[in-house]
Amino acid sequence: MDLRTIADRIEITDLLTRYAQAVDTKDWSLYRTVFTADAAIDYTTAGGPAGSLDEVVTQLAPMLDLFARTQHFVSNIAVDLDGDTASVQAMFFNPMIVSEASDGVPAKQFYCGGWYHHELVRTEDGWRSRKLYEESAWFDGLDRLA
């Protein structure tokens, strides 16, 4: 593996970390730095929005405000580099807390997991996602949300 490939893989891993950090902190300015301006994003397998970057941020922000806390663990990152483009598949595990505990009542929480499928492009600002498809594989604890 040459140094350029190693550097690309590190930058791509950093991009996925930035994505998780942006979603978990609800930092929509940071979230936008993960994507190209014309990106297509699809969260429909989790009941979320699909559309352009602006459309998704507009819909996703209030949806995630329902959660007191979220964590995204991203792993098993498979990168297929092809010059200035890359296809990436990464697993995610996402525990979420819907409401804070009060008066001894446990917080409502659930978990989900699946894969992120990114189509990346190298830009002047580094690697960016021009397409994200979230493939949800499982959910646990939805019964506790009712």
- Higher-scoring residue by pLDDT: 103, 89: 89
What pLDDT is attached to residue 23? 97
Record the pTM: 0.91
Alpha carbon dihedral 13, 118, 134, 41, in 10-degree steps, equals 120
Per-residue confidence (pLDDT) for residue 13, from 0 to 100: 98
CATH-assigned architecture of domain 3-145? Roll (3.10)
Each domain of the chain, given as residue ranges in start order, spans 3-145
* pLDDT on residue 110: 87
DSSP symbols for 67-104? -SEE--EEEEEEEEEETTEEEEEEEEEEEEEEE--BTT
Q: What is the mean pLDDT of residues 7-36?
A: 98
What integer best gives the mean pLDDT of the chain?
93
Residue 115: which H helix or E strand, with range?
strand 108-123
> Where is pLDDT greater, at 10 or 146?
10
Write out pLDDT tens, residues 26-77.
999 999 999 999 999 999 999 999 999 999 999 999 999 888 899 999 999 9
* Residues facing residue 5 across a β-bridge: none
SS3 content of the chain, % helix, strand, coil (to 5): 30, 50, 20
pLDDT tens across 93-143, in order? Answer: 999 998 665 666 667 888 999 999 999 999 999 999 999 999 999 999 866
